Structure 1
Amino acid sequence: MPSYPYVLLSAAVSLDGYLDDTTPERLLLSSPADFDRVDEVRASVDAILIGAGTIRADNPRLLVNSAERRAARVAAGKPEYPLKVTVSASGELDPAANFWHTGGEKIVCTTEKGAQRLRRAPVAADVVVLGAELDWRGLLEHLREVRGVERLMVEGGGTIHTQLLQQGLADEVQLVLAPLFVGDPDAPRLFGPGGYQGGRLRLLETRRIEDVVLMRYEPTAPGTGVLPSAADRHWLALACDLAERCPPSETAFSVGAVVVAADGTELARGYSREGDDPVVHAEEAALAKIAAGDPRLATATVYSSLEPCTRRASRPAPCARLILAAGVRRVVTAWREPDTFVVGADGSGVLAGEGVDVLVLPEYEKRAKAPNGHLLP
C-alpha cells in the first residue's frame, strides 16, 4: 500500500468565498500577523505545492521569509527552504517566473505531453512525469517515497484544493476568513462544484488573528474501496492510541478499534481487555456497543490497530467473523498478526475472501506494535 505525506490545504478567502478579485493587483486577504503565521507553517513543512495557474497569476516566490526560521530548519538538519512543487498538465510555464529563481530545490509534476513541452522550453526544476494524465495519488506517493516529504503544504489554487478534497487526500484544511466581500461572479472561488466526501469536517481550532479568523478542519468520512483516504489515517491513528489503554497482558496483544459510519460519525470504539472483561478483543468490544442491525454498519469501516483475529481460544467467535456477521464491508488495519499466539493467522485474507475491502497501512505499524513490544522478538 503506498504511503502519502500529511497534506495541509492553506487558503484565505473573503466572506463570500473568493480567493481574489478580477483586478490586476493581487487582493490581500490576510493580515500582517497571519502572513507571519503562514511563514511559520511553511517553515514547518517539507514541501510547498502550488498550481501552474497560481504561478501565472501571482508570480510568487514561495519562501520562508524569517531568517530565524530558516536557521532553525538548517540546525534541525533540513534544507534552508522547503521543496517547492508545482503541477502543470500542459507544461506551459514561464521560465522567468520568481518560483524558479528563489528558494531551494524545485520540481514540476506533469504529464507525458507536458514533459515534451518542458524539454523544448525548460525551467530550472526537476521534471516528474506522472503519466498520460495528472495523478494526485501518484504525485503524493512520489513526494513521500522518493523525495521523503512527510508534510506537504498546498497553497492553491482553488482547482487543486478542490481536487485533493474530492479525492479524499487532504488531511487538514487551514482556512482564513477575511472581513470583506468580493461579489464578482468572474472572480476565482476557493472550492468548485463536484462530488465531495460526505459528512461534516471536524473543527480542530479557531483563532482570531488581528481582523481575520483562522479555522482548522480535518475530514472525517472514511474512504471507499481499497483506496486510502486522509480520514482513514486519522481513524487508524485513533485505534493505535486506544491500544495504549489496554491493561497489560503476557498472553494477548493490545489492540484498539474504532467503527466509523460512511458520513464520518464514530459509532463505537473499544480496546482489548476493556472494562471488566479480561478476554474481550478490541473489535468485539466496539461492535458490542452498536445495536444489532444498525443500517449504518453496511457502509461503515472498522479500524483496528491489528488485523482482526481468525482463531481464538477465549471465545468461539473470532473478530473477523464478528465483523462479517455485523455486515461491515470495509476494514483498515496497521499490522498483520504475527505467529506469536496463532500460527498462520490471516484475518485480512478471511475478510477479503468474503468480499470485504481490506486495507493495511504499514506506516502505522510501529505505533500499533508499541504497546506489544514485550510480546515480539
Structure 2
Amino acid sequence: MSPRSLPHVLLSAAVSLDGYLDDTGPDRLLLSGPADFERVDEVRAASDAILIGAGTIRADNPRLLVNSAERRAARVAAGRPAYPLKVTVSGSGDLDPAAHFWHTGGDKVLYTTDRGAERARRAGLAADVVPLGTDAVDWRTVLTHLHDERGVRRLMVEGGGTVHTQLLNQGLADELHLVLAPLFVGDPTAPRLFGPGAGYPPGRLRLLETRRIDDVVLMRYDVRHGSPEEPPRDRARYGATPADHHWLRLACDLAALCPPSRTAFSVGAVVVAEEGTELARGYSREGGDPAVHAEEAALAKLDTADPRLPGATVYSSLEPCARRASRPRPCARLILDAGVRRVVTAWREPDTFVPGADGNGLLTAEGATVVVLPEYERRAKAPNAHLLA
C-alpha cells in the first residue's frame, strides 16, 4: 500500500534519562513542565487526530485537549473542529465509560474487534465504534481508515509504549518527538518507552532538531529517513530533501494558528539551520500584531548577527511577499537582508491583495535558491479558503 494513503504519524513521548515513561508509584510521574506542556498543546492544535492506547486510558485517564482558547479559535477559523479527533484502539473493547477521554473535547473513535465492539456498545462508550474483524486490530487498517474515512492527514500518537513500539516495528511511524527529563527512575519494573522488537527502523534516525525547554531537552527525529519504503520525493525536479517536506508541512500547520482575517493571508514560516536545527518559527498576526507576516515574525526572534543565518533555509507556506503597504520592507527583502539564501515554499501568492507580486523572483534575482513543492499547496490554502472562494 502506498505511504501516501496513510496519515503522517508523529510519535510523542517524554522519558527519564534511563528511558522510563513513569515510575511505579500511585501518581503519574511528571517528566516535563509548563513550557513543554505548551509545546505539546501547539503540536496537538496542528494535528488532525490524537491517538493513545487503551492502556494509557486505564492508567492515566487523560483528557487530551487543546488547552489554548486562541489555538482552538484558529482551528475553527480555518474550518476545522476546535479539537482534534481523539482515537484509541482496544481489541477487547473493555474500557471505562466514565473515563475523561470520552467526555471531553470533540469527536472520539474506538477501533476494536467485532467482539470488542459488542462490549463497547453495551457499556455505552461515547464514541464512534469501528469493528475491524474477529482477529487482533491491525495498525495499517486503522491508519488507512483514519486517512480515507475520517480525513486524518496528521496523527499525533501520545502513547503508550506498546503503541509506539508496534508502530515503529511495523514501519508506520514518520516522526519522533522525544523529550528527555533530567531524572532517573531506576526501577526495572517501571514502564519503558520502547519494548523489544526486531522490526525497528534499520540504521540511525535522522536528527531534525534539538531544543532546550527549561530543564528538559526536545529531540525530533525523522523516522523514515532513508527507508526504502519512502524514498525522497521530487528531489530531482525540485532540489528538495526529505527534511524539506517535514519543515514545509510544519509551516503549513502553523498557518492554521493565524487569527482569521478578511484582508490578509494566513501564513506559517520556520527558519531552520543548515544542520537541521529549528532556529525560529512564526505565523501571520502572531502576538496580536494585525500587520506582522509569518517570515517577519520568525526572523524577528533571531539575532541579525547569528552566524547560522547565511546557511539557513526559510520555509513558508506562501511565497514571501515582494511588496506590502503595512511595513517598509517586504518579507522577501527581510529574508535577503538576514543573509538567508534558500527558501522553500508551497504556494505562489495570488493577486488577491497585491497584483503582480513576485517574491520568488526577487529572491532568485539576488542569488537565493527557491524551491517550490506544489504538493503542499492544498495544505497551505486550507486556512485561506474564505479568501479564495
The normalised TM-score by structure 2 is 0.60
Residue 232 (structure 2) pairs with residue 236 (structure 1) = yes
Q: Which residue of 2 aligns with 1:97?
A: 99
Letter in 2 for 1:141: T
Q: Which residue of 1 aligns with 2:301?
A: none
The answer to whether the Cα contact below 8 Å between 2:121 and 2:129 also exists between their aligned partners in 1 is: no
Counterparts of 1:70 and 1:44, CA distance in 2: 10
Counterparts of 1:200 and 1:38, CA distance in 2: 25
Residue 177 (structure 2) pairs with residue 183 (structure 1) = no
The answer to whether the Cα contact below 8 Å between 1:54 and 1:157 also exists between their aligned partners in 2 is: yes
Counterparts of 1:56 and 1:28, CA distance in 2: 17
Q: What is the correspondence of 1:211-290 to structure 2 with a 5 Å cutoff?
A: 211-219=215-223, 220-223=225-228, 228=229, 232=230, 235-237=231-233, 240-245=234-239
Alignment equivalent of 2:206, drawn from 196, 202, 211: 202
Counterparts of 1:96 and 1:183, CA distance in 2: 33
Q: Which residue of 2 aligns with 1:125?
A: 127
1:112–1:213 Cα change, 3 Å: same
Q: CA RMSD in A?
A: 2.2
Residue 166 (structure 2) pairs with residue 170 (structure 1) = no
Counterparts of 2:232 and 2:219, CA distance in 1: 24
SS at match of 1:198: coil
Counterparts of 2:209 and 2:232, CA distance in 1: 21
CA positional deviation for 1:367:
4.2
Q: Which residue of 2 aligns with 1:161?
A: 164
Structure 2 portions without partners, runs of 5+: 243-372, 377-389
Q: What is the correspondence of 1:74-89 to structure 2 with a 5 Å cutoff?
A: 74-89=76-91
Q: Which residue of 1 aligns with 2:153?
A: 150
Q: Which residue of 2 aligns with 1:337?
A: none
Letter in 2 for 1:69: R
Deviation string, structure 1 residues 134-160 (Cα, Å, up to 9, x no partner)? 100000000001000000000000000
Deviation string, structure 1 residues 69-106 (Cα, Å, up to 9, x no partner)? 00010011100000000111110100000000000000
SS at match of 2:142: helix
The answer to whether the Cα contact below 8 Å between 1:197 and 1:221 also exists between their aligned partners in 2 is: no
The answer to whether the Cα contact below 8 Å between 2:235 and 2:241 also exists between their aligned partners in 1 is: no
Q: Which residue of 2 aligns with 1:50?
A: 52
CA positional deviation for 1:118:
1.4
CA positional deviation for 1:366:
7.2
The answer to whether the Cα contact below 8 Å between 1:242 and 1:257 also exists between their aligned partners in 2 is: no
Deviation string, structure 1 residues 282-327 (Cα, Å, up to 9, x no partner)? xxxxxxxxxxxxxxxxxxxxxxxxxxxxxxxxxxxxxxxxxxxxxx
Structure 1 portions without partners, runs of 5+: 246-255, 259-364, 369-377
Q: Which residue of 2 aligns with 1:69?
A: 71
Q: Which residue of 1 aligns with 2:286?
A: none
1:190–1:243 Cα change, 3 Å: same
Counterparts of 1:244 and 1:95, CA distance in 2: 50
The normalised TM-score by structure 1 is 0.62
Counterparts of 1:170 and 1:242, CA distance in 2: 25
Letter in 2 for 1:170: A
Q: Which residue of 1 aligns with 2:62?
A: 60
1:104–1:367 Cα change, 3 Å: closer
Letter in 2 for 1:208: R
Counterparts of 1:197 and 1:26, CA distance in 2: 30
Letter in 1 for 2:191: P
CA positional deviation for 1:191:
0.1
Counterparts of 2:232 and 2:238, CA distance in 1: 13
CA positional deviation for 1:164:
0.3
Letter in 2 for 1:199: G
Give aligned-pair identity as a percent. 72
Q: Which residue of 1 aligns with 2:350?
A: none
Counterparts of 1:16 and 1:208, CA distance in 2: 18
CA positional deviation for 1:112:
1.7
SS at match of 1:146: helix
Which stretches of structure 1, 4 residues or longer, exceed 4 Å deviation after superposition?
365-368
Deviation string, structure 1 residues 219-241 (Cα, Å, up to 9, x no partner)? 22425xxxx5xxx1xx332xx13
Deviation string, structure 1 residues 181-236 (Cα, Å, up to 9, x no partner)? 0011111000000111211000000000000000000122425xxxx5xxx1xx33
Letter in 2 for 1:139: V
Q: What is the correspondence of 1:2-81 to structure 2 with a 5 Å cutoff?
A: 3-81=5-83
The answer to whether the Cα contact below 8 Å between 1:71 and 1:80 also exists between their aligned partners in 2 is: yes
CA positional deviation for 1:244:
2.3
